[in-house]
Structure 1
Amino acid sequence: IMPVNHDPASDELAAHPSRLPTHPKEVVEEKKAAPQEIFSPPVLHPLDPLTANEINLATKILKKSPYFQKYLRIITVILLEPSDKNVVLNIQPDDEIPRQVTMFIRDPVKHTTLEIIIDLTKETIKNTLELTDVQPSLTFDEMIVADTVLRNDKNFLAAIAKRNLEINNIVFYPFAAGYRDLSDEPSKRRIFRPLVAVSHGKEDNYYAHPVEVMDLDDMIVEVEDYYVVPVPTHTANFNPENITSSNNVPYFPNGLRNDLKPLVITQPEGPSFKVDGYQVTWQKWRFRIGFNVRESLVLHCIEYFDKDKWRSIIYRAAMCEMYVPYGDASPTHSFKNVFDVGEAGLGLLVNSLVLGCDCLGEIHYFDVIVNNNQGQPLLLKNAICMHEEDGGLLWKHTEFVEGRTQVRRSRRLVISTVATVGNYEYAMYWYLNQDGSLNYEVKLTGIIAPGAIGSGKTPVSGGLVAPGTYGPYHQHFFNVRIDWMLDGLKNSLVEVNCEPLPPGKDNLIGNAWTAKETILSTVGQARRTIESKTSRFWKIVNSAVLNQVEQPVAYKLAPMGNVFPLCLENSHQYKRGAFTRYHLWGTVYDPNEMYAAGLYPNQKCEDTGLSKYSEANKDKSLIDSDLVTWYTFGCTHVIRPEDWPVMPVETTGFRLLPHGFFDGNPALDVPLPPNHSRKKNCEECNSNGKS
């Protein structure tokens, strides 16, 4: 689809705040509007991210329809990927490229949610659905309007006066409502529960000064005032100028370190990857970059070049949900169980990444387009970063008898994005490696959402971080949905457990063990947890393609550090976050099953996602199926003083490794890096003498 010519006066990129104001006295500069044509490259593939032209076109079609009202809030505009994979896999250069979007819209007058599917190719509305019992994700526009309403609410003003606080020093930071009782049902009202803190200036970390409900359709305020706790007075700033203050926790009287020498990374000939639109090739890998306002970064059509042909591995991979349940029973924290993908939208919250800080080296950035509540396109610069980095040792062996050494260093391709979801930052990384493996990693940082506590008291479900301040215990769960295409679209799922052999002729001295394979033959069987005692992992196999030892080709999903949910089974947290009950789920591809917590987790009392998908199809065969795996992983955050005022990075993730997919080590052909040593000729890496 070539860019459509629209009226530039009305179709420019929307001017919008780069972020929410964090202090009532602060004026946030708006990003300047720019002609949308600059950010609407030709659409070359059905899976390309949406362009500014396409969002403008979708909004124009909506405005011409009988469904449009001026007061509607356009929550998200998301590319509706072709449900038939063959349409994507068999697309030819001269073919018309099918492009459809789903617009998720809130009607605050009728208290309903609209799903409107628009065919951009034919410029028609394809389908419309009006729902009364769901709530779409929260939006910036609602937060900004709510801030104004809250500052003028008499009950809230009375509550802060009781604490001797000034309204001009108050900051609201939003939290999704969670679910507490029937009054929170999505059919009854649209709400969020902002928390309150005190800010002493633009550079002050207001999370250090917490003060111990709002209807977003009608902008009606309910003030929940539980008890008066002294507002913590110690600062918790982390900018260089303020860490020298003796009132700061922690306190660095000498300021920044001065003994750090420069570390410079250069690639004088440029990076080894090639970018064609949104298609990337690097070191025998080929894949497509995708992006949407809900999931953020998506990888499509991941392939590896082997034996003179491209071999498919994955059709689509993305983090489809993130769940953060809090473990503190106090009323200002017990409601917190946030679905950051389904209730907020990671794509809308991505950072503009900065060279030398977020990414290091020879960088290729991808800009992306999202939408505001008026259906205008918004440009997010440098939303996705791609670069190469040294990965340490790739392989090595020294023959002491013959005096020979062979060693290679690893290089990996990093595709990353960072989202700020309220107080937390989540940095998400895909690593592609030269040995045919992939890693997915989440780095958690940012600021804990603290609470105030009386002097001399110790929290039951939290950790003290400063006088009068504690961090509630909580967990983070992530779910990555992988739609497999391992040498084709017919794959199976196998569980592997390492077990000792029973005593007998096959295990005379008790040392023998085996790797026992079990086919997970149905969707109902494919609900599995990790088990470190048996070194459990899972294989995705293609039984129709055999390797050189006559075994089905496979990839291995290898868990890394992981956790189990700690909430009780009768809790709303357990019911809402049902996808966390198992670490691995297997289903058969269904284009309507994209999100682990369902399409609308906001204010829902129970799961409408993965547990429902699995139960409804529990008898469906997974053998030689169009297989989708859903892997849940995460971490348990027991707060420590070192997490304050900004957390050092904590890491979680998993690995995907070839397991009989290749005939042997696919990285044997990686050459020695040129000019990698200060020596004129480095013989240690490839020597005929001992190293």
Structure 2
Amino acid sequence: MIDQATIPTTAKHPLDRLQPEEMRTARKLLHEEGVTGPSTRFAYVALDEPPKAEVLAFTDGDPVPRRVKALLVDVDTGRVTETLVSVTELSVESVREVDVVAEGQPPILGEEFEGVGELVAADEQWKAALARRGITDPAQVCACPLSAGVFDIPGEEGRRMMRVLGFLQHRPEDHPWAHPIDGLVAYVDLIERKVVEVIDHSLAPIPAEEGNFDDPRQIGPARTDLRPIEITQPEGPSFHVSGDVVTWHNWTFRVGFDAREGLVLHQISYRDGDRQRPIVYRASVAEMVVPYGDPSPVRFWQNYFDAGEYLLGKQANSLQLGCDCLGEIHYFDAVVADDHGAPLTIDNAICMHEEDYGVLWKHTDIFTGSRQTRRQRRLVISFFVTVGNYDYGFYWYLYLDGTIELECKATGIVFTSAHPGSGHRWASEVAPGLGAPFHQHLFGARLDMMVDGVTNAVDEVEVRQVPVGEENPYGNGFTYTAIRLPSEAQAGRVADNSVARSWHVTNPEVTNRLGRPVGYVLYPEGQPTLLADEGSSVARRAAFATKHLWVSRYQADQRWPAGEHVNQNAGGAGLPEYTAADRSIDGVDLVLWHTFGMTHFPRTEDWPIMPVDYCGFTLKPCGFFDHNPTLDVPAATASHCADGMAPGDGDTVVAS
């Protein structure tokens, strides 16, 4: 038994990241209560975050109750249970069996990814299909196990499934993505540990050209004309870290990490004079979906939910100075649970540093002769994940002027297929005979807003042209409209760049010195939402991605855009359920859910490795401050900057 006095939890705040000893304690308690056995695996382990009201009421020195949520799967029977364990009270508080048909499956386990290749390689149908293609040694084939989705295929209901595509590998160091074995797919039951079906639809030539971007023999000699760039801060960085709490200039926030979401920012606030003003209570990328657009019989099912099916946080990289991060770096390690519930530390999972970001503001005055320039700076908090072929970077930026940005970076290797030649409608040809199917990367951000408090509302703001008339006789006038989004059902919105549509989160109970509600604006990029037909399986399962904006009233247990159990969920979970009651969102504690992303028609330049592509969004203060909050930013101190001097001889200044 565990002795209360020996519990080594050192959490001082309800949102402190989950600690290794807390994981071990939860695991031991579940075992002692008979909840787990030899065939139990831990699909997801996380801190059960207390409701917002409890956290906001917390003061230093208060008791810190800590609960661990664990999602368990029995790999012998397929039974799935949700558990909640108090590691401060040393008790298993709840155990609930999950109906996998109605609710969906837990995320895919690491051992399942690793074991599927052996199952497929031993299957006679698979070996026969390879032999038809002239491949006599299954060991030459890299089996790529992928989430199965839900397509009403007879016999699959309730089964824990994966689908497997194959890639030929010429030798151990050869990147197999260059050699897709198209027209062939295996369906695998993970619990029965067998291949259920092999679909050998068509014979397609296997592309022969290699794509080894890391082989000097293929890429040629490295460039010699790039001279070093060194980033130095001789006096050290401007931020301060105390446990999970970061302060930087006027910003304060908490760093969190979840096995499903990865990096989480808690309680983002900005010091304005003698006030520490809250802006966002919790910010994360809570889901992402990568739907592919190839409708062929062996690829129609390809759509991946990288958070809900694969756990973004568990795929985090250990970052390296000079490669992934440059400058004066502070790293945070991340702790996740392995398949057996034991803590696993990812060293240097989160990178934090400052960056110069060019001019903050500048003016040369034609009347006073004043010449002033201030430089912008931003704090960068980031992490990178590898999910199969793709690599994704998630970069949160905080700026001196109160702006918050999220930038997502996609790189790695495009998923490949055979390409039949001219006229093929579903993929780009990126190398001879090698295709890269069209697809999207759609991210679902969850922004638990708290603009100067928990009483918030959302206005949709658009520009409006004004026709020539009595109030606009010369036709040059234009204005804007602002419409309050009244309820959850009516707050499902799509961006429209033709009218510069944006969404203003205001606090009706707090006004600035002009008497107007303080606010922050969400500026969307306005790229396409989900392009799959509205009647498709992926449109049902990824309903969050059919709109750029959703707004819901805060509810502690509503965390996931596509629902709690995404893997093999048939659809309708998550945001459609959260907003179904159509509650008022005018002046309440609310959550913004923002979908953004990129639609990828791969280029030849994306092969054999893809340069980074970008997407994201911006949150900017609008009436939040009474004036420009960066008036106190000092002038640059570099000796070659003569800021503050009058224009010299020969300067020409004109009005614009």
TM-score, structure 1 normalization: 0.90
SS in structure 1 of the partner of residue 577 of structure 2 = helix
Give the match for residue 249 of structure 2: 283
Q: Which residue among 144, 155, 166 is the counterpart of 1:173?
A: 144
Residue 506 of structure 1 deviates from its aligned partner by 1.8
Q: For 1:421 and 1:194, how far apart are their aligned partners in 2?
A: 15
Q: Which residue among 164, 169, 177 is the counterpart of 2:134?
A: 164
Q: For 2:437 and 2:153, how far apart are their aligned partners in 1?
A: 26
The answer to whether the Cα contact below 8 Å between 1:106 and 1:112 also exists between their aligned partners in 2 is yes
The answer to whether the Cα contact below 8 Å between 2:529 and 2:595 also exists between their aligned partners in 1 is no
SS in structure 2 of the partner of residue 652 of structure 1 = strand
Q: For 1:4 and 1:288, how far apart are their aligned partners in 2?
A: 28
Q: For 2:396 and 2:591, how far apart are their aligned partners in 1?
A: 18
1:128-207 to 2 correspondence within 5 Å? 128-132=95-99, 133=101, 134-165=104-135, 166-183=137-154, 187-207=157-177
Q: For 1:96 and 1:211, how far apart are their aligned partners in 2?
A: 58
Q: For 1:196 and 1:514, how far apart are their aligned partners in 2?
A: 57
Instruction: State the AA in 1 paired with 2:425.
Output: V
The answer to whether the Cα contact below 8 Å between 2:497 and 2:526 also exists between their aligned partners in 1 is no
Give the match for residue 407 of structure 1: 373
When structure 1 is superposed on structure 2, of 353-362 and 500-509 the one drifting more is 500-509
Q: For 1:470 and 1:492, how far apart are their aligned partners in 2?
A: 47
Q: For 1:176 and 1:473, how far apart are their aligned partners in 2?
A: 18
Q: Which residue among 558, 568, 574 is the counterpart of 2:539?
A: 574
SS in structure 1 of the partner of residue 490 of structure 2 = coil
Residue 397 of structure 1 deviates from its aligned partner by 0.7
Instruction: State the AA in 1 paired with 2:623.
Output: G
Are positions 1:625 and 2:588 aligned together?
yes
1:19-58 to 2 correspondence within 5 Å? 42-58=10-26
Q: For 1:332 and 1:47, how far apart are their aligned partners in 2?
A: 45
When structure 1 is superposed on structure 2, of 599-608 and 429-438 the one drifting more is 599-608
Instruction: State the AA in 1 paired with 2:98.
Output: L
Instruction: State the AA in 1 paired with 2:158.
Output: K
Give the match for residue 61 of structure 1: 29
Residue 195 of structure 1 deviates from its aligned partner by 1.5
1:86-105 to 2 correspondence within 5 Å? 86-105=53-72
When structure 1 is superposed on structure 2, of 504-513 and 433-442 the one drifting more is 504-513
Residue 148 of structure 1 deviates from its aligned partner by 2.1
Give the match for residue 107 of structure 1: 74
Residue identity (%): 42
The alignment of Structure 1 onto Structure 2 pairs a total of residues equal to 638
Give the match for residue 436 of structure 2: 471
Q: For 2:363 and 2:228, how far apart are their aligned partners in 1?
A: 32
Give the match for residue 235 of structure 1: 210
The answer to whether the Cα contact below 8 Å between 1:561 and 1:652 also exists between their aligned partners in 2 is no
The answer to whether the Cα contact below 8 Å between 2:117 and 2:145 also exists between their aligned partners in 1 is no
Q: Which residue among 262, 270, 281 is the counterpart of 1:296?
A: 262
Q: Which residue among 39, 55, 58 is the counterpart of 1:71?
A: 39
Structure 2: give runs of 5+ residues left out of the alignment.
652-656
Are positions 1:220 and 2:194 aligned together?
yes
The answer to whether the Cα contact below 8 Å between 1:540 and 1:556 also exists between their aligned partners in 2 is yes
SS in structure 1 of the partner of residue 147 of structure 2 = coil
Residue 74 of structure 1 deviates from its aligned partner by 1.2
Give the match for residue 401 of structure 2: 435
The answer to whether the Cα contact below 8 Å between 2:9 and 2:22 also exists between their aligned partners in 1 is no
Task: Check 1:394–1:97 CA distance in 2 against 1; reply closer, same or farther (3 A cut).
Answer: same
Residue 389 of structure 1 deviates from its aligned partner by 0.6
1:451-600 to 2 correspondence within 5 Å? 451-454=417-420, 456-600=421-565
Residue 123 of structure 1 deviates from its aligned partner by 1.1
Give the match for residue 306 of structure 2: 340
SS in structure 1 of the partner of residue 130 of structure 2 = helix
Q: Which residue among 591, 597, 600 is the counterpart of 1:634?
A: 597
Residue 307 of structure 1 deviates from its aligned partner by 2.0
Q: Which residue among 635, 638, 648 is the counterpart of 1:672?
A: 635
Give the match for residue 125 of structure 1: 92
When structure 1 is superposed on structure 2, of 544-553 and 498-507 the one drifting more is 498-507
Q: For 1:503 and 1:528, how far apart are their aligned partners in 2?
A: 30
SS in structure 1 of the partner of residue 13 of structure 2 = coil
CA deviation vs aligned residue, 1:282-310 (integer Å, no higher than 9, x gap)? 01000000001000000000010002121
SS in structure 1 of the partner of residue 126 of structure 2 = helix
Instruction: State the AA in 1 paired with 2:35.
Output: Y
Task: Check 1:184–1:466 CA distance in 2 against 1; reply closer, same or farther (3 A cut).
Answer: farther
Task: Check 1:3–1:242 CA distance in 2 against 1; reply closer, same or farther (3 A cut).
Answer: farther
CA deviation vs aligned residue, 1:529-567 (integer Å, no higher than 9, x gap)? 101121110111111111011100000001125213221
Residue 612 of structure 1 deviates from its aligned partner by 2.0
The answer to whether the Cα contact below 8 Å between 1:583 and 1:631 also exists between their aligned partners in 2 is yes
Task: Check 1:97–1:401 CA distance in 2 against 1; reply closer, same or farther (3 A cut).
Answer: same
Q: For 1:184 and 1:125, how far apart are their aligned partners in 2?
A: 36
Are positions 1:305 and 2:271 aligned together?
yes
Residue 73 of structure 1 deviates from its aligned partner by 1.4
Q: For 1:443 and 1:356, how far apart are their aligned partners in 2?
A: 18
Task: Check 1:86–1:571 CA distance in 2 against 1; reply closer, same or farther (3 A cut).
Answer: closer
Residue 628 of structure 1 deviates from its aligned partner by 0.5
Residue 270 of structure 1 deviates from its aligned partner by 0.8
Task: Check 1:226–1:182 CA distance in 2 against 1; reply closer, same or farther (3 A cut).
Answer: closer
Residue 338 of structure 1 deviates from its aligned partner by 0.9
Q: For 1:135 and 1:184, how far apart are their aligned partners in 2?
A: 16
The answer to whether the Cα contact below 8 Å between 2:493 and 2:549 also exists between their aligned partners in 1 is yes
Give the match for residue 645 of structure 2: 687
Instruction: State the AA in 2 paired with 1:168.
Output: A
Q: For 2:486 and 2:385, how far apart are their aligned partners in 1?
A: 37
Q: For 2:57 and 2:632, how far apart are their aligned partners in 1?
A: 31
Q: For 2:547 and 2:568, how far apart are their aligned partners in 1?
A: 23
Q: For 1:504 and 1:155, how far apart are their aligned partners in 2?
A: 76
Residue 44 of structure 1 deviates from its aligned partner by 2.1
CA deviation vs aligned residue, 1:590-620 (integer Å, no higher than 9, x gap)? 11211111111211222311122112x21x1
The answer to whether the Cα contact below 8 Å between 2:495 and 2:526 also exists between their aligned partners in 1 is no
Residue 4 of structure 1 deviates from its aligned partner by 7.4
SS in structure 2 of the partner of residue 56 of structure 1 = helix
Instruction: State the AA in 2 paired with 1:219.
Output: R
Residue 220 of structure 1 deviates from its aligned partner by 1.2
SS in structure 2 of the partner of residue 573 of structure 1 = helix
Q: For 1:194 and 1:392, how far apart are their aligned partners in 2?
A: 48
Residue 183 of structure 1 deviates from its aligned partner by 3.5
Are positions 1:646 and 2:646 aligned together?
no
Q: For 1:510 and 1:112, how far apart are their aligned partners in 2?
A: 69
Residue 3 of structure 1 deviates from its aligned partner by 11
Q: For 2:32 and 2:383, how far apart are their aligned partners in 1?
A: 36
Give the match for residue 654 of structure 2: none
Q: Which residue among 291, 315, 321 is the counterpart of 1:355?
A: 321
Give the match for residue 247 of structure 1: none
Instruction: State the AA in 1 paired with 2:224.
Output: N
Instruction: State the AA in 1 paired with 2:165.
Output: L
Instruction: State the AA in 2 paired with 1:499.
Output: R
Residue 240 of structure 1 deviates from its aligned partner by 4.7
Following TM superposition, the consecutive aligned residue runs of length 4 or more in structure 1 with deviations greater than 6 angstroms are none
Residue 502 of structure 1 deviates from its aligned partner by 4.4
Q: For 2:298 and 2:612, how far apart are their aligned partners in 1?
A: 26
